[in-house]
Amino acid sequence: MRRALDTLYDGAAWLAGLALVGVLLMVLLSIVSRQLHFHVPGTDAYAGYLMAAAGFLALAHTFKRGEHIRVTLLLARLGGGWRRALEIWSLAAGTALAVVLAPVPRRVAVGLGLVVVTALVLLVARAPVDPYFALSLQRWEQGRFIRFHGLAQWIGWFWPYVALVWLLHRLAARE
């Protein structure tokens, strides 16, 4: 049974990768069609469907391997039973929150997104300086992250502000 599930998870991960390639193709098609002054209907919708498929198809594989992104400051300090209980509670709370917020109107969801992203930016800004960040900043000032290898650093610093601008744009857009 375990081997069959692992094969299923790996297959779903491959499908998730193909869905991401599909997202790339839809975005490129949209860009090219705008530049060449023709319209391909549905590219935005298909890109959204493919992105959702990629996320959901990759979940089982990611959970199986323990590679999902999460904050483990508290989990690392807890032992066996307590750790498992907190992980189950976190998953249940996240699922409940998703179920409760699923029927929320678009403008309300965008407003909540603005509040959450702003709160996270403020929380990170008030966090104490960590020694690894100081070392990273020193390397940054020496110019080591200017090339492609620093792309993750750039994305990590700018994504919240890009998200805020995008959410504001979505909030101002007409239904």
Q: What is the mean pLDDT of the chain?
A: 79
In the numeric block, the tokens 């375990």 are attached to 2
For residues 6 and 44, membership in a common domain is answered with yes
Residues 109 and 174 occupy one common structural domain: yes
Asked if 111 and 171 touch (Cβ cutoff 8 Å), the reply is yes
Q: State whether 9 and 26 are in the same domain.
A: yes
Same domain as 166, residue 122: yes
Distance CA 141, CA 102 (A): 43
User: Residues 43-52: pLDDT tens digits?
Assistant: 888 888 888 8
The pair of three-digit structure tokens given for residue 113, joined into one six-digit string: 């997104």
The predicted-structure confidence for 119-152, as pLDDT tens digits, reads as follows 887 877 776 666 556 666 666 555 555 555 555 5
Instruction: Decide which of 43, 69, 95 is a domain's last residue.
Output: 69
The whole-angstrom separation of Cα 1 and Cα 66 is: 20
Please identify, among 49, 69, 89, the residue that sits at the C-terminal boundary of a domain: 69
Tell me, yes or no, whether 43 and 90 share the same domain. no
Distances (CA, A) of 173 to 43, 47, 110, 150: 19, 20, 11, 33
- What 171-175 contacts at long range (C-beta under 8 Å, 24+ apart), as own/partner pairs, is 171/107, 171/110, 171/111, 171/114, 175/106, 175/107
Domains in the chain: how many in total? 3
In whole angstroms, give the CA distance from residue 99 to residue 78.
28
Contact 167, 110 (CB under 8 A): yes
* Domain boundaries, position 161: 105-175
Residues 48 and 82 in one domain: no
Greater model confidence, 147 or 99: 99
54 token code pair: 């990629």
Assess whether 64 and 90 both reside in one domain: no
Domain end marker among 19, 53, 69: 69
Residue 2 has pLDDT above 60, yes or no: yes
Clarify whether residues 23 and 82 are in a common domain.
Answer: no
